[in-house]
Amino acid sequence: MLRDFPSRVEEFVVKTIQSGDPSFAPFLIADTFYTWPAAIAKNQNLLNVSFWTEPALVFSLAYHMDLLKENGHFPCKDHVEEEINYLPGVEEMSTKDLMSFLKATDTATTVDKVVPKAFEGVKKADFILHNTVHELESETLSALNMYQPNYAVGPINFSKTLATSTVSKSLRSELDCTNWLNWDAVSSADTDVLPAGYLDEIKDKGLIVPWCNQMMVLSHPAVGGFLTHCGWNSVLESIWRGTPMICYPIIYDQPTNRKLVVDDWKIGINLCDGISVERKEVAEKIKSFISGAASKSLREETKKINAILQNALESDGSSERNFNQFVKDLKAKLIARIE
């Protein structure tokens, strides 16, 4: 992928430009994690728009990896927990909340090759789009704007008409969980490997399926919470449907996303800080999650954050304004190049 893919992409880009309408000025939009956009944009004289699909906090941590190195927080110090208080626009945070590849002792993985190269390229981008909302990460985004034009245009996953959407989001057959949810049973996570007879054992307590429409499940009134690995899309979907979260991050950006959900926005609880968690602890956490003062506070804060996401996509919302400003700035730069 790293060696062969860029040349194939450039070949495709050249063909696309040559077959297009010459009266339109082409430009390139590519995922930030790709390592090739900066070089191809330069070779083909294209404006380079980098698209970031995770929260701005994760972007800032990767963007300022040089500062983490200077302060001895990358590579990892054998999992020693310390405070990070020197990143522009980022409030003090713990090293335990860094992305997993920044905490790993092995720095020779593919991720360690891709991320630095990708962010070396993104620093050459003309514009950067973020799948987040300005009000949720205003200080981080404002600090990033000191370096390059950054625009929070999220959440791009949704629209006001989403509830009536019937577009499939999976190659799997979509399994209907409606009847089970309407039965008001307690929800269950799915897994690929189950003990013999387990499905029969839990059939009156929960439902396990290979795949389902997560948005439909999260929006159902029988669902009181979401046990999530804290992938960014799952976090956004949960907020969009007003569902508080029980966080169990595993890898990559998930520990950092958990920090936003639990510590900053207070719309979820942390299941555990270790790799494993005891049954008793799970039961206690779920009990506090579904009842009592803590539960009430979680649901109140989730409503507030939900309103921020919803309002951002209104005609006068921050994401709509930011996208319009991006289009205006992009057009101006394209025209300036032609002239």
- Residue 10: CB atoms within 10 A of its CB come to 15
277 is a domain residue: yes
**Based on the domain organization, do 103 and 233 belong to the same domain?**
no
**Based on the domain organization, do 278 and 180 belong to the same domain?**
yes
pLDDT string in tens for the chain (339-residue length): 567 888 999 999 999 988 877 778 889 999 999 999 999 999 999 999 999 999 999 999 999 999 999 999 988 776 678 999 999 999 999 999 999 888 887 777 778 889 999 999 999 999 999 999 999 999 999 999 999 999 999 999 887 665 445 445 554 555 566 665 665 554 444 445 677 888 788 877 787 777 788 888 888 888 889 999 999 999 999 999 999 999 999 999 999 999 999 999 999 999 987 667 888 888 888 888 988 788 999 999 999 999 999 999 999 999 999 999 999 999 999 998 876
**Based on the domain organization, do 50 and 124 belong to the same domain?**
yes
**Based on the domain organization, do 230 and 288 belong to the same domain?**
yes
Query: What are residue 28's DSSP bridge partners?
Result: 48
**Based on the domain organization, do 100 and 209 belong to the same domain?**
no
Looking at residue 164, what is its pLDDT?
45
The span from the CA of 227 to the CA of 232, in Å, is 14
Q: Are the C-beta atoms of 60 and 144 separated by less than 8 Å?
A: yes
159 is a domain residue: no
332 is a domain residue: yes
Domain count, the chain: 2
**Residue 306 domain boundaries:** 165-312
160 is a domain residue: no
**Based on the domain organization, do 264 and 130 belong to the same domain?**
no
Structure tokens given for 117: 């190269």
117 is a domain residue: yes
48 is a domain residue: yes
Query: What are residue 270's DSSP bridge partners?
Result: 247
**Based on the domain organization, do 141 and 240 belong to the same domain?**
no
Structure tokens given for 3: 């060696």
Which parts of 273-317 fold into alpha helices (H)? Answer: 279-290, 293-312
**Based on the domain organization, do 137 and 211 belong to the same domain?**
no
**Based on the domain organization, do 288 and 321 belong to the same domain?**
no
Whats the size of the chain, residue-wise?
339
Q: Are the C-beta atoms of 318 and 135 separated by less than 8 Å?
A: yes
32 is a domain residue: yes
Looking at residue 195, what is its pLDDT?
79
- Burial category of 66 from C-beta neighbours within 10 Å (exposed 0-12, middle 13-18, buried 19 and up): exposed
326 is a domain residue: yes
Looking at residue 146, what is its pLDDT?
97
**Based on the domain organization, do 201 and 308 belong to the same domain?**
yes
Q: What is the CATH number of the domain that holds 278?
A: 3.40.50.2000
Looking at residue 239, what is its pLDDT?
96
Query: Residue 121 contacts by C-beta under 8 Å, 6 or more apart in sequence?
Result: 34, 35, 36, 37, 38, 39, 50
Looking at residue 178, what is its pLDDT?
62
Cα distances from 75 to residues 25, 106, 216, in angstroms, run 43, 8, 41
Hey, is 184 helix, strand or coil?
Answer: coil
Q: Where would I find the beta strands (DSSP E) of 75-126?
A: 83-84, 93-94
Q: Are the C-beta atoms of 61 and 95 separated by less than 8 Å?
A: no
Q: What is the pTM of this model?
A: 0.88
Query: Residue 114 contacts by C-beta under 8 Å, 6 or more apart in sequence?
Result: 2, 33, 35
Cα distances from 211 to residues 183, 184, 231, in angstroms, run 19, 20, 16
Looking at residue 191, what is its pLDDT?
45
**Based on the domain organization, do 129 and 240 belong to the same domain?**
no
Burial 115-144 (b: 16+ CB within 10 A, else e): bebbbebbeebbbbbbbbbbbbbeebbebb
Query: Residue 186 contacts by C-beta under 8 Å, 6 or more apart in sequence?
Result: 205, 206
Looking at residue 270, what is its pLDDT?
93
DSSP letter at 96? G
**Based on the domain organization, do 75 and 140 belong to the same domain?**
yes
